[in-house]
Structure 1
């Protein structure tokens, strides 16, 4: 299943803002139109206009050219809707037709409006309620005529819809286009500026790792809406730190507790009569002791500052090789020491480097197949340990530096040894690599920068 597509916050805001603006603007326009129409100020939608349009459609002239009003279906419907319908029709030649009860005040007013295209005739607010009228010159089938009609009637829904559509196209759409363009330009800028603090938060979070415990994400520049999320992250980091501390205390306590029974077990095994199993039992006990020491070493590396002093890689290599030579010989190996330089000075922690080299030799003893030669060599910038065992496949060479990694799920693994080697070498600004030996087997090389100081 493909990953869910992420949506940009800026475009979510743009879409929602534009939609909200469109709805608000449309609602505002409809409210204004409705208010004007209800208050009698919207001339274009007056019902009198519909009355005049109906009368215009009924106008004609008889064969003699006399102005006549035919009884059309629309006019009949208008009369049924407006029983009080009245109107006065005049042409430019003085011909005149009137129907209904024309109020006296409007009977001859049309004569004075020949030069007016249209007019709405009524009274001031507060005057005694009286009849109102609407006048308009139109081009009908009977020619250009003036129609004066009384108020009343209703506006058909299609005319209202057409008026609203016209208003929407001519007013709402241009305003909405300007607002949309403004939103498209302004929203990304506003979002980017508002989330600058969130970028800093992401950068702070990116720098948090296992070696920087206790770190927390600052809330100084975080938007208020994001504060709960950042606070939750800080809470999760605090719980992880607490759990990690508990785990580390357990490992240290367990390693300390194991040292005493392991030492007692070793003494008891050494006191038994020599036999075929005594050497193997002693080797297994030494492995347990080494594992306990590796657990303590791992915690020391994480909790303390590694001391720095002037040391010599040649001295380190000679000392560790001579100490572990009896163990290698007892396990069935021939062990050799090679050096290409008399001295290899550098700045570092001699104890840590001795433990790293000892771990490499112990690994060679444990996984070298119990035959052949183990060669420990030193140059001006490196120390290598080579065995003639089955070797390590290229795809596993990086993984064996992980704690307790097992090759192909089997029993052979690096335990904590190679993991500690890598940590110690990295503290000395160096690298550790695994290659195939010249005669098969495995060659592990620790390389350091000459005379380089610790981090």
Structure 2
């Protein structure tokens, strides 16, 4: 649950460095492109953005209205576009000349443009501004590529548009489109690839960070080859992990030493108790000593699991459960409980260490007898489902409160303070099951009672022809066939 919550918080509160860097670079390049284009054309036009300029589209309209007649002369035909232009600009004039020097004219050329029009055939493109016209463009000379060949077009008196609009169109048409737009497209593809390559080391570190666990000491994140901005964070994090591992080792040594040291005073107390006469005080003291001894044994078991490798071999869970319940039967009978083993399998083999796995069954059964109540019935089921061998320990007692189920497998957790448990039994079960690649969980077996389910990957199962129920109500289990 904590892991799932952490993943949700991580996905909700993080952002992509690659995306942020890429967007920032795109925006910066776009701003630079726009600003440089405005500066360039502003310099060309001497920053005269407040005046009015001839519409650039008028030149195309004029050039498209010219045809060559049978006499090889140029003629203007009344296309809808040119007629619309004449209506919009009553003062419109233009002069068109082909490569052979043939001319066609319309309207009255303004005096400011007369000399420039006479040189139109030698001019590729030009703008003529009349200084007495409040910086308004008087005429425009350009070369149009048409089906008639190149035509030199000079026109004026046409419709005007604000200077700032013309500059914006010019920036986009003649500067941004052929240069910066392809550059932005290329960067849109290349920048994420380059940035992602630079972050490849960070992705590896993120994967290693997800594997950090208290049960895997010594894991560190590599600091070699990292950017200078990230390396100090990784070094500091590794130093924190080093301190945590040191504190964990110190705590484990303390627990192990304390558990060992408890054995001597416990043995002395037991010896002295043997010399006391019978009575309720002696019984109570013996129970307390037994509880203290059990606590020490479980602490040592926890430490052994963390410091010693498991002796893995093939273990028959059906046979192991049968032997374990046979050993627990005298305790169950003395306390007025019933133990029952239910399995439809003759064999169910897993890969594991038999001693810790036996401890799992013992702890789960004893936990049920200690917390379930009086005259309890405890059933141990062994079966296979999917790829897992399953051991369920079910009782018909008072059950486990829902508010405590998330903490039941934590060390020293007890939901009933009046019981004699140490709070380590289920924690030890979880550690053993996790080391065997399995999981343990709580479930509701019915209206009353509690159930704990252990799942471990299995290797082999052998069914029997009948359902076998083994009841441990004496020193050895008695098999009842149904």
Whether these two folds match at TM > 0.5 is yes
| Match in the other structure for 1:213 | 217
- Consecutive unaligned residues of structure 1, counting only runs of 5 or more, are 51-111, 118-134, 141-158
| Aligned partners of 1:333 and 1:373 also within 8 Å | no
| Aligned partners of 1:363 and 1:414 also within 8 Å | no
| Aligned partners of 1:356 and 1:421 also within 8 Å | yes
| Aligned partners of 1:333 and 1:374 also within 8 Å | no
- Consecutive unaligned residues of structure 2, counting only runs of 5 or more, are 1-8, 52-114, 121-127, 134-161, 462-482
CA pair 115-139 structure 1, distance change in 2 beyond 3 A = farther
CA–CA distance in 2 between the matches of 1:161 and 1:195?
44
| Match in the other structure for 1:261 | 265
Deviates more, 1:291-300 or 1:301-310: 301-310
Structural mapping, 1:405-424, within 5 Å:
405-407=413-415, 415-424=423-432
Q: Quote the offset at 1:430 in angstroms.
A: 5.0
Query: What's the TM-score once normalised by structure 1's chain length?
Result: 0.60
Deviation track 1:60-94 (CA, whole Å, cap 9, x = no partner) reads xxxxxxxxxxxxxxxxxxxxxxxxxxxxxxxxxxx
Deviation track 1:286-335 (CA, whole Å, cap 9, x = no partner) reads 222212211111121122111134555455445444444444455x3234
CA–CA distance in 2 between the matches of 1:434 and 1:352?
20
Structural mapping, 1:194-273, within 5 Å:
194-219=198-223, 222-273=226-277
| Aligned partners of 2:273 and 2:282 also within 8 Å | yes
| Match in the other structure for 1:192 | 196
CA pair 19-333 structure 1, distance change in 2 beyond 3 A = same
Deviation track 1:320-366 (CA, whole Å, cap 9, x = no partner) reads 44444444455x32344546589646353222223222212321332
| Aligned partners of 1:312 and 1:345 also within 8 Å | yes
| Aligned partners of 2:318 and 2:343 also within 8 Å | no
| Match in the other structure for 2:311 | 307
CA–CA distance in 2 between the matches of 1:439 and 1:113?
104
- 2:297 pairs, out of 268, 273, 293, with 293
- Aligned residues between the structures: 353
Query: What's the TM-score once normalised by structure 2's chain length?
Result: 0.57
CA–CA distance in 1 between the matches of 2:220 and 2:346?
46
| Aligned partners of 2:318 and 2:347 also within 8 Å | yes
User: What's the C-alpha RMSD, in Å, of the aligned pairs?
Assistant: 5.0
Q: Which has the higher strand share?
A: 2
Q: Quote the offset at 1:416 in angstroms.
A: 1.6
CA–CA distance in 2 between the matches of 1:344 and 1:313?
7
| Aligned partners of 1:432 and 1:444 also within 8 Å | yes
CA pair 395-162 structure 1, distance change in 2 beyond 3 A = closer
| Match in the other structure for 2:337 | 334
Q: Quote the offset at 1:421 in angstroms.
A: 1.8
Q: Quote the offset at 1:195 in angstroms.
A: 2.0
CA–CA distance in 1 between the matches of 2:400 and 2:180?
70
CA–CA distance in 1 between the matches of 2:393 and 2:170?
88
CA pair 172-335 structure 1, distance change in 2 beyond 3 A = same
| Match in the other structure for 1:360 | 364
CA–CA distance in 2 between the matches of 1:443 and 1:113?
102
Deviation track 1:194-225 (CA, whole Å, cap 9, x = no partner) reads 22332222222222323322122234564454
SS of the counterpart of 1:333?
coil
CA–CA distance in 2 between the matches of 1:303 and 1:309?
19
The structure showing larger relative contact order (alpha-carbon pairs under 8 Å, at least 6 residues apart) is 2
Q: Quote the offset at 1:367 in angstroms.
A: 1.0
CA–CA distance in 2 between the matches of 1:217 and 1:448?
31
CA pair 315-184 structure 1, distance change in 2 beyond 3 A = closer
Q: Quote the offset at 1:172 in angstroms.
A: 5.7
Deviation track 1:267-292 (CA, whole Å, cap 9, x = no partner) reads 33343222224333322222222122
Structural mapping, 1:69-84, within 5 Å:
none
CA pair 271-359 structure 1, distance change in 2 beyond 3 A = farther
CA pair 359-263 structure 1, distance change in 2 beyond 3 A = farther
Q: Quote the offset at 1:372 in angstroms.
A: 3.7
Greater Rg by CA? 1
Structural mapping, 1:409-448, within 5 Å:
415-430=423-438, 432-436=440-444, 440-446=448-454
| Aligned partners of 1:400 and 1:414 also within 8 Å | no
Q: Quote the offset at 1:250 in angstroms.
A: 1.9
SS of the counterpart of 1:305?
coil
